[in-house]
A and B are shown apart, each in its own frame.
Chain A
Amino acid sequence: MMNAHEPYAREVTINACKLCNPLGASLVFRGIEGAVPLLHGSQGCATYIRRYLISHFKEPVDIASSNFSESSTIFGGGANLKQALQNVISQYRPALIGIATTCLSETIGDDVRLILDEFKREYGAPGRPVLVTVSTPSYQGSHIDGFHDAVQAVIQQVASGGPKKSMVTIFPGMVSAADLRLLKEILIDFGLDFLMLPDYSETMDGVIWDTYQIIAPGGAPVSKIRAAGRSKAALQLGRCIRRQQNAAEYLAERFGVEGYTLGLPVGIKETDRLMQTLAILAGRDIPRKYQEERGRLIDAYVDAHKYLYGKKAAVYGEPDLVLGMASFLAEVGMVPAICATGSKSGKLAEELRKLLPESEEGMTEVAEGVDFEDIRMLIERVRPDVLIGNSKGYPLARQYGIPLIRVGFPIHDRIGGPRLLHMGYRGTQQLFDRIVNALIRARQDQSPIGWSYI
């Protein structure tokens, strides 16, 4: 049995290892072409989330707010929401507005759907953007729930059925902009017509501009989202996603789309599963380019295996990121000794059990719903050789003198967070090199001799 770690009993969260739901939803809406996110709540929710996303992506991130006042809190936020929609339309001319609720509007019980129905009647159809609403109170779940719930809301509220097309729909989960670009490259190389939702690879990691773009170019086109029910297949990346959040499952049930649920393609085994699925869907072999990337990756695994065997890693972040990393670490001989997440998927331990070899049993501490104080206590006990996770683990890396391999979100203390590649053979290669070199460096720094070769 793997050790399922219970957070120790205390009522206070110390350095949370999670963010709030509307952040995840905002990121999804930013991955739709011509879309503007709008948070129904206090001004601060939008501003804090903007600031947090900007510090990672280093791009303009406009998120509107319905800007509650004391009277809207007492009498309901309907008037504010309608005014906000009106002003967003007049400033941005968006194709879609994604409305996410907040703790405040949820607690006072605003019926957003009803308000939107009223707004639609009052505004009329001409020039009206698509309106999508998602419930994201942060007292239920965390940012990753907000992310998956928003994807599901977009599909449920926008997609329709009809005769099947050749299109494949892929739900990549909360991954980096570079990961999204790689996935698109892979789909194109397989010759597949596709919808990827969300796609913030350009909107959140774009080129320099000559004139200011009030909505960043790029993103999943609304027309393709409309056609999602006519896809021939839908792929959800992420094994820890709850069934009701799994958009591929929804498309399968509602429109009879062929649905697949795969893990984040980190490491050879999980990437193989994705490539094989795509090969079947495209009806062709895996392109030579990827076979070569795979071959080089295995070659590197062999070259460096002695530096990694038995080394212990502490991995933290969203459940599926942790799962993907753990699966990869195990296949290169490392021990994912701590697998921690601030979220509560309830599935991480079970999915780890399926992916990790039996020999790893008893060597992995799985901890869901924890904060960085819980993770600190696990580190104290396990003494890992390397930390793998976002920037918020840096204080622990510094305190314990353990190298930190930055992955996921947020990367606030380095340049290039959106350009970090984690997925596919290529992303695994980069990750692998970074981990091996961090371990070699730690040994080199501690060595009294200071070899200049390895």
Chain B
Amino acid sequence: MKVLDGRKKQVFRKGEAPFEFDCEKQSLAGSVSQRACVFCGSRVVLYPIADAVHLVHGPAGCAAYTWDIRGALSSGPELHRLSFSTDLREYEVIHGGEPKLYQALIQLIERYRPEAVFVYGTCIVGVIGDDLEAVCKKVSALKGIPVIPVHSEGFKGTKKDGYKAACAALMQLIGRGPTDGISKYSVNILGDYNLAGEIWIIKDYYRRMGVEVVAGITGDGRVKEIERAHGAALNLVQCSGSMNYLAKLMKEKYGIHSLQVSYFGIEDMAEALYGVARFFKDAEMMKRTQELVSGEIRAVYPKLLEYRKALAGKKAAVYVGGAFKAFSLVKALRLLGMETVVVGSQTGSKQDYALLKELCDDGTIIVDDSNPVELSHFIREKNVSLFIGGVKERPIAYKLGIGFCDHNHERKIALAGFVGMLNFAAEVYQSVMSPVWQFTPRYMQSETRGDVHDECSRTVCP
């Protein structure tokens, strides 16, 4: 396989050459990037806010493809699971879509009584020149709720620019609410989207430490909570790609410190709790945290060791949206005795990739904004037993007879927290150790090569 000329600096093999890595570029035309667009970036970040109406101003497709596609759960209202669009037709493309948008907003607000509305601009809105700002302002004044334009025209950059547009929209909410009564030991959780209920696991840990969570941004999100987020003492940022920018804006405007955390894997999860305890410099809290961590680890560790026995020495490939997720996955796989030999992301930054390089072993392929041709080649070359990615990577793995774990928006299994690590290990185990691979050509070829197989160790776990 030949890597396209325009992409050569986005593929690196550790140990082979000086590290000159390119990233944060517009995808190469015709390369079949796994990325989506600016709109997608905004839509995924704001999606979990469950008591807001999310109105896509554009043709039907953009809204239809994002209808109820994430596993982002809500403990209450579920407005976010509906798909609203202005379904622009030729008439509006010619005459402008503002009147239709105005009517749509009025109708939606009267019917659903949301706490706020997000209006997403799509490609053609950017071209026909609808004044989203003006329409939103007018409706907001009339109806008395925040109606916030999200400048997410698909062509105006990459998915990462969509994250920024979403953060800018969130800043319009933050600061509107009262902050009285908020504990001095308080945090906002940024960049957890409550997939499969993960933020509930995390919130429970912080509650047991004595820390108040002011707002989940945006997991199980509520408008009124986000409006009070400026009252928190600390921002905890997971998913660096989407939320670092919001943390930066909140630091500038409200002086709130932030901490990079990851809730995935034993080490990172523990550090996410200890880091908070250290920040608040409270000895009692630190003690509670230590008890919590050791109790949780005691509960999952023996079982993890069993999985490790079966999985040790197997190789994995990781290709995810944000690079921060990749760090945690490399570490978590290592805990299971597995080696990551291919790792990449859609939106990583230069620092992210430098860190990945440090974290990985020699020979590991590091890749930015990859595509099916490259990914399928790399996973075959490295002969991995497991591929971790999203929906678009799944069939690449399955077609070649390789185990797969979804680490993206659609998953229904909680992977965060200590219990999440156990879920993750179980899923990896169930996929890698499944007997179905014995029928696949990949397995049969490796058998003729005399590779050792080990489904016999399946007895280890139920």
Q: Which residues does A use to contact B, with CB under 8 Å?
A: 10-16, 18-20, 22-23, 38, 41-52, 54-55, 58-70, 72-73, 80-81, 83-88, 90-92, 102-104, 107-108, 137-140, 142, 206, 208-214, 342, 392, 395
Contact = CB atoms under 8 A, between A and B. Distances in A.
Contact of A65 (B33, B64, B441): B33
A11 B107 contact: yes
Contacts of A47: 33-37, 40, 392
B372 interface: yes
A66 B29 contact: yes
Contacts of A92: 373
A16 B100 contact: no
A107 B83 contact: no
A16 B67 contact: yes
Contacts of A20: 59-62, 64
Nearest to B87: A13
B185 interface: no
A344 to B, nearest CB: 10
Q: List 3 A-B pairs, minimum CB-CB distance, nearest first.
A: A44-B37, A20-B61, A87-B30
A380 to B, nearest CB: 15
A12 B84 contact: yes
Contacts of B66: 48
B107 A67 contact: no
A62 B67 contact: no
Looking at B30, B124, B376, which has the most chain A CB atoms within 10 Å of its CB?
B30
Interface on chain A toward B: helix, strand, loop, or mixed SS? mixed
Contacts of B68: 395
B67 A15 contact: yes
A368 to B, nearest CB: 14
A38 B60 contact: no
Contact of A11 (B100, B122, B373): B100
Given A43-B27, A139-B59, A214-B376, 17 more contacts: A12-B55, A15-B67, A16-B87, A18-B64, A20-B59, A43-B35, A44-B38, A44-B154, A60-B372, A60-B376, A80-B29, A83-B29, A90-B2, A103-B93, A138-B61, A212-B376, A342-B60
Interface in B143-200: 154-158
Contacts of A107: 93, 123-124, 127-128
A72 B27 CA distance: 13
A54 B396 CA distance: 11
Contact of B92 (A138, A139, A209): A139
A19 B156 CA distance: 23
A182 B419 CA distance: 47
Interface in B106-126: 107-108, 122-124, 126
Contact of B442 (A12, A104, A210): A210
A20 B58 CA distance: 11
A85 B58 CA distance: 27
Contacts of B40: 44, 47-48
Interface in B301-318: none
Interface in B371-406: 371-373, 376-377, 380, 391-392, 394-396, 398-401
Interface of B: 2, 4, 6, 26-40, 55, 58-68, 82-90, 92-93, 100-101, 103-104, 107-108, 122-124, 126-128, 154-158, 371-373, 376-377, 380, 391-392, 394-396, 398-401, 439-442, 445
Nearest to A49: B65
Contacts of B62: 20, 44, 48
Contact of B67 (A11, A49, A210, A392): A392
27 contacts: A12-B108, A19-B65, A20-B61, A23-B61, A42-B154, A43-B33, A47-B35, A47-B392, A48-B62, A60-B396, A64-B32, A67-B28, A68-B155, A69-B157, A70-B155, A70-B157, A91-B371, A103-B61, A104-B155, A107-B93, A137-B90, A139-B89, A139-B90, A140-B90, A208-B441, A211-B400, A212-B380
A45 B154 contact: yes
B387 to A, nearest CB: 12
A20 B66 CA distance: 13
B29 A67 contact: yes
B399 A60 contact: yes
A73 B30 contact: no
A54 B32 CA distance: 14
A43 B37 contact: yes
Contacts of B445: 210
Given A20-B64, A208-B440, A54 B127 contact: no
Contacts of A22: 61
A143 B250 CA distance: 43
Contacts of A62: 32, 372-373
B209 to A, nearest CB: 38
A73 B157 CA distance: 11
Nearest to A143: B61
Given A51-B391, A209-B399, A87 B31 contact: yes
Given A45-B61, A87-B29, A214-B373, A139 B399 contact: no
A73 B28 contact: no
A14 B124 contact: no
Contacts of B158: 43
A67 B87 CA distance: 23
B243 to A, nearest CB: 21
Contacts of B26: 67, 69
Nearest to B59: A138
A73 B441 contact: no
Nearest to A21: B61
B32 A212 contact: no
B84 A73 contact: no
B399 A15 contact: no
Contacts of A10: 103-104, 107
Contact of A19 (B61, B82, B391, B395): B61
Contacts of B34: 47
Contacts of B103: 10-12
Contacts of A87: 4, 6, 28-31
Contacts of B442: 210
B389 to A, nearest CB: 12
Contact of B395 (A58, A84, A90, A103): A58
Nearest to A70: B156
A102 B153 CA distance: 14
Given A48-B40, A87-B4, A103 B124 contact: yes
Contacts of A19: 60-61, 64-65
Nearest to B102: A11
Contact of B65 (A52, A61, A68, A208): A52
B373 A104 contact: no
Nearest to A46: B32
A55 B391 contact: yes
A103 B128 CA distance: 11
B85 to A, nearest CB: 5
B36 A139 contact: no
Nearest to B33: A43
Contact of A138 (B31, B60, B394, B401): B60
Contacts of B86: 11-13
A11 B4 contact: no
Contact of A59 (B38, B377, B380, B399): B399
B4 A91 contact: yes
A61 B32 CA distance: 10
B219 to A, nearest CB: 22
